[in-house]
C-alpha cells in the first residue's frame, strides 16, 4: 500500500531513494516519484506512471541532492496518472503519503474556499494543502494541528521549502521505521529499504513527530516533548532481501521454506523430563506466552486476511480436534461489522505476515477493547499488530518480498501446529508423550518438504497444461479444503486465471455445472479418513470430462483413469501433508505464471502490505 522513503545526509539522496524504492516496490507499483532539495530551498520533483525502473531512467545521473523523499504508489484515491503520482506539493509543503484520509472531501471543500486548488484526485494532496494552510514557520506545530484534523490512516514524510535538508514525519496506522547511520538519517515504510545501511532501527510510534537532519533524528510528542526511541535489531541481513540467483523472489521464498520452518520451530523446542524419560515439547516461555492463555477458554476466534486467513482455517481444524473448543475463522474486514461475541474467556488469534494489515489490526483493536485475550502470529518484528497484541508468536520466516505469500504461510501453519500441541498439552488433552510425538512429526515434515522442492521440473511440466486455462477448480475435504483455498488464491493472484476452491462434497450442489471437458481440476487427496469420499468426488468431475491433476498421499492408490497427472507426496502422517502439498501448489502457480509471461513477483493491481481498509 505505497512505499515511502526519506533520506538526508552526506550521501547522494538520489541513490538512497531509488534503491530504497526498488526494495519497497512490493508495496505498490502504479507510479513512482521523488522530491529533493536541489539548492537555494528549491525542491525538484520527478515522477512518472509505472514502475521504479521507469523513474530511474528519468532521474539524470548528475542529479545532485543530499536530502529528499521518494514514493512508490498503490492507487487508492484517484486513478493511476502522472498528476496522482506522489510527491504532492502545495505552497511550501511537499509530501509523500501512505494510507487513506477518510475526511478528505470535506477538507478539500474547506481548503478550496481558501484559494488552494488541488491538481490531483488524491487525498494526499489535500493533506499537503492542509499542512500548508496551517504552516507559519513552525513545522511541528503545523503537523500536530493537521493531525488533529485528519481522519484515517497515514504515514507522511514532509519537506518544507524554507527548511532545507530536513524531513518531518508522522504516522497513524501506516508503518514507518527509521535509522541513523554515518551517512545520514533514513526513514521508510519497511526495514527492507534500510537494511543495506543499518541493522538497528526504531519504529516511529503513532502520534509522534520525527525530524530528520544529516546528523540526528529527533522525535517529539505532538506538544513538543522529546522522546527517546526504542531501537530494535534485525536478525537477517541484506542477502535475505535479495533474489540470490533465483529468477524471482517468489521462487526463492518457496525454496527458503525448510530454513524458515526450522527458524520457527527449533528455538521453541524444549526438553522436558518425566519419570526419567526426555521429551521435546513446544514451549513458549521465551515468547512470554503462558500456558494460562489457553486454559478456561470458551472459544477461539481466528481473524486475518487472504493467505493468513487460510492458515487460520488449518488452525481451526487443529484446535477443534486437539482442544475440543469451538473455533471460528473470520475474514478480518468483516469481523468488526458482524457484532462478534467476545469476552475474557475468548482467545482472539490474529494472523499477519506484515503485521500491518489494516483490517486485521482493527479486528485486534476491537478484541482488545472487548476484554478478550489476544495472541498474534506475525512475521515482521515490531509491526503494529505485534506491538498491540497482548501476546506475539513471531514466525521468523525472514523478509517476504514477493506479493504472493509462500514461506510466511507455511510458517503460520507451523505456528498453529505448535500452539495447538502446546495448548492441548497445557489443557491435559494430550499426554507429554503424545505431545512429543506430534511435535516430532512436525519436525520430520521439513525433510519431506525439501524433497518436494527438488521436484520443480515435474511441476513446471504440469503447469504447461494450465497456461491456456480460463477457469480452474481446486477441490478437497477437511485439511485439503483449507489448503484448496490457499492453492486457489495463489494461482489466481499471479496467473490471472479464474479459480475457485470447493469443498469436494459441495460441488454437486451447484458448481458441477461449471465442469466441462478439459476444465482443469486440482484434486487434493492427502487425508485418508475422507479418501473414499474424495475418490467419489473426483469421479464426479472426471465423468464430466475434467482435466484432473491429483495431489495425493503416496499410498492413496487412486485408479489412473481418474486423473491426467498424479503428484505423489512424500510420506508424512496426514496431519502434516498440508506443508508438502502447499509447496506443490505454490510451485504450480509459480511456473504457470512464469510460463504465461507474467510479472510473478508484482501481479497487477495487488500490493504486499494492505494498510487501507
Ligand atoms: C496472498 C497474500 C495476501 C495476504 C493478505 C494478508 O498471497 O499474500 O492474501 O495474505 O493480504 O497480509 P498479511 O499476512 O500481511 O496480514
Asked whether residue 114 carries a pLDDT value surpassing 90, the answer given is no
- Cβ of 493 closer than 6 Å to ligand 1, yes or no, is yes
- Cβ of 35 closer than 6 Å to ligand 1, yes or no, is no
In whole angstroms, give the CA distance from residue 60 to residue 57.
7
Placement of cell 493491481 in the chain: 605
- 260-271 pLDDT, tens digit each: 999 999 999 999
Provide, rounded to the nearest whole percent, the portion of the chain with pLDDT above 90.
Answer: 87
Q: What is the DSSP string of 17-52?
A: HHHHHHHHGGG--SEEEEEEE-STT-EEEEEEES-H
Quote the pLDDT of residue 511.
85
Mutation test residue for ligand 1: of 1, 308, 313, 333, the one with most atoms within 8 Å of CB: 308
Query: Rounded mean pLDDT of 542-550?
Result: 96
In whole angstroms, give the CA distance from residue 12 to residue 183.
10
pTM of the model: 0.85
Quote the pLDDT of residue 438.
98
- 15-42 pLDDT, tens digit each: 999 999 999 988 888 999 999 999 877 9
Query: Rounded mean pLDDT of 495-501?
Result: 97
Could you tell me the distance, in angstroms and rounded to a whole number, from the CA of residue 111 to the centre of ligand 1?
37
Please give the number of the atom of ligand 1 that sits closest to the Cα of 357: 16
Query: Rounded mean pLDDT of 349-368?
Result: 96
Do the beta carbons of residue 1 and residue 174 sit within 8 Å?
yes
- Cβ of 489 closer than 6 Å to ligand 1, yes or no, is yes
Do the beta carbons of residue 127 and residue 155 sit within 8 Å?
no
Helix, strand, coil percentages for the chain (3-state, nearest 5): 40, 25, 35
Do the beta carbons of residue 380 and residue 358 sit within 8 Å?
no
> Is the dihedral angle over the CA atoms 503, 505, 509, 513 positive or is it negative?
positive
Placement of cell 479444503 in the chain: 481
Could you tell me the distance, in angstroms and rounded to a whole number, from the CA of residue 184 to the centre of ligand 1?
33
- Cβ of 404 closer than 6 Å to ligand 1, yes or no, is yes
- Cβ of 1 closer than 6 Å to ligand 1, yes or no, is no
- Cβ of 405 closer than 6 Å to ligand 1, yes or no, is yes
What is the CB neighbour count within 10 angstroms for residue 490? 28
Please give the number of the atom of ligand 1 that sits closest to the Cα of 304: 16
In whole angstroms, give the CA distance from residue 517 to residue 470.
13
H/E element, 460: helix 456-463
Could you tell me the distance, in angstroms and rounded to a whole number, from the CA of residue 523 to the centre of ligand 1?
24
Could you tell me the distance, in angstroms and rounded to a whole number, from the CA of residue 377 to the centre of ligand 1?
13
pLDDT averaged over the chain?
Answer: 95
Whether 2 is catalytic: yes
- Cβ of 582 closer than 6 Å to ligand 1, yes or no, is no
Length of the chain as a residue count: 613
Could you tell me the distance, in angstroms and rounded to a whole number, from the CA of residue 507 to the centre of ligand 1?
27
- 378-402 pLDDT, tens digit each: 999 888 999 999 999 999 999 999 9
CB neighbour list of residue 578: distance below 8 Å, 6 or more residues apart: 314, 413, 479, 482, 483, 526
Whether 485 is catalytic: no
- 275-331 pLDDT, tens digit each: 999 999 999 999 999 999 999 999 999 999 999 999 999 999 999 999 999 999 999
Amino acid at each position: 500500500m505505497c512505499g515511502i522513503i526519506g533520506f538526508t545526509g552526506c550521501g547522494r539522496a538520489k541513490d538512497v531513494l531509488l534503491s530504497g524504492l526498488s526494495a519497497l516496490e512490493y508495496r505498490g507499483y502504479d507510479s513512482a516519484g521523488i522530491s529533493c532539495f536541489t539548492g537555494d530551498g528549491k525542491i525538484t520533483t520527478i515522477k512518472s506512471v509505472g514502475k521504479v525502473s521507469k523513474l530511474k531512467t528519468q532521474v539524470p545521473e548528475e542529479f545532485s541532492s543530499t536530502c529528499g523523499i521518494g514514493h512508490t504508489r498503490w492507487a487508492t484515491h484517484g486513478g493511476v496518472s502522472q498528476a496522482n503520482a506522489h510527491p504532492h506539493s502545495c505552497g511550501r509543503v511537499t509530501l509523500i503519503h501512505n494510507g487513506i484520509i477518510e475526511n478528505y472531501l470535506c477538507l478539500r471543500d474547506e481548503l478550496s474556499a481558501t484559494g488552494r486548488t488541488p491538481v490531483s484526485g488524491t487525498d494526499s494532496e489535500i493533506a499537503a494543502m492542509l499542512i500548508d494552510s496551517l504552516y507559519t514557520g513552525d513545522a511541528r506545530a503545523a503537523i500536530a494541528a493537521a493531525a488533529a484534523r485528519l481522519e484515517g490512516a497515514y504515514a507522511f514524510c514532509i519537506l518544507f521549502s524554507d527548511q532545507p535538508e530536513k524531513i518531518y514525519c508522522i504516522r497513524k496506522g501506516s508503518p514507518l521505521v527509521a535509522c541513523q547511520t554515518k551517512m545520514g538519517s533514513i526513514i521508510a515504510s519497511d526495514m527492507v529499504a534500510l537494511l543495506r545501511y543499518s541493522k538497528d532501527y526504531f519504529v516511529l510510534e503513532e502520534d509522534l513527530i520525527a525530524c530528520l537532519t544529516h546528523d540526528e533524528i529527533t522525535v517529539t510528542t505532538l506538544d513538543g516533548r522529546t522522546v527517546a526511541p526504542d531501537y530494535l535489531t534485525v536478525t537477517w541481513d541484506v542477502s535475505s532481501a535479495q533474489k540470490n540467483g533465483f529468477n524471482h523472489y517468489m521462487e526463492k521464498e518457496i525454496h527458503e521454506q525448510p530454513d524458515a520452518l526450522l527458524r520457527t520451530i527449533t528455538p521453541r523446542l524444549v526438553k522436558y523430563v518425566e519419570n526419567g524419560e526426555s521429551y521435546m515439547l513446544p514451549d513458549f516461555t521465551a515468547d512470554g506466552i503462558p500456558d494460562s492463555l489457553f486454559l478456561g477458554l470458551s472459544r477461539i476466534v481466528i481473524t486475518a486476511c487472504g493467505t493468513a486467513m487460510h492458515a487460520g482455517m488449518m488452525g481451526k481444524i487443529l484446535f477443534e480436534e486437539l482442544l475440543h473448543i469451538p473455533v471460528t475463522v473470520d475474514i478480518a474486514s468483516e469481523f468488526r461489522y458482524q457484532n462478534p461475541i467476545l469476552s475474557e474467556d475468548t482467545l482472539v488469534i490474529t494472523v499477519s505476515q506484515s503485521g500491518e494489515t489494516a483490517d486485521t489490526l482493527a479486528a485486534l483493536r476491537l478484541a482488545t477493547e472487548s476484554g478478550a485475550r489476544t495472541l498474534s502470529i506475525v512475521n515482521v518484528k515490531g509491526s503494529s499488530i505485534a506491538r498491540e497484541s497482548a501476546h506475539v508468536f513471531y514466525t521468523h520466516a525472514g523478509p517476504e518480498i514477493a506479493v504472493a505469500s509462500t514461506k510466511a504461510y507455511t510458517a503460520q501453519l507451523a505456528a498453529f501446529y505448535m500452539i495447538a500441541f502446546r495448548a492441548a498439552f497445557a489443557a491435559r488433552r494430550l499426554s507429554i508423550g503424545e505431545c512429543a510425538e506430534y511435535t516430532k512429526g512436525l519436525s520430520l515434515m521439513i525433510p519431506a518438504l525439501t524433497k518436494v522442492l527438488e521436484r520443480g521440473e515435474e511441476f513446471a511440466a504440469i503447469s504447461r497444461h494450465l497456461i491456456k486455462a480460463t477457469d480452474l477448480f481446486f477441490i478437497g475435504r477437511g485439511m485439503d479444503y483449507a489448503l484448496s483455498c490457499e492453492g486457489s488464491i495463489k494461482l489466481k493472484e499471479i496467473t490471472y486465471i479464474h479459480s475457485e476452491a470447493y469443498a469436494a462434497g459441495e460441488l454437486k450442489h451447484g458448481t458441477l455445472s461449471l465442469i466441462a471437458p478439459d476444465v482443469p481440476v486440482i484434486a487434493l487427496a492427502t487425508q485418508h479418513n475422507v479418501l473414499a469420499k474424495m475418490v467419489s468426488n473426483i469421479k464426479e468431475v472426471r465423468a464430466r470430462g475434467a482435466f484432473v491433476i491429483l495431489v495425493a498421499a503416496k499410498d492413496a492408490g487412486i485408479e489412473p483413469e481418474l486423473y491426467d497427472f498424479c503428484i505423489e507426496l512424500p510420506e508424512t502422517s496426514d496431519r502434516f501433508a498440508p506443508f508438502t502439498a502447499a509447496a506443490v501448489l505454490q510451485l504450480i502457480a509459480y511456473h504457470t505464471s512464469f510460463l504465461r509471461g507474467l510479472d510473478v513477483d508484482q501481479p497487477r493491481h495487488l500490493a504486499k502490505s494492505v494498510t487501507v481498509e
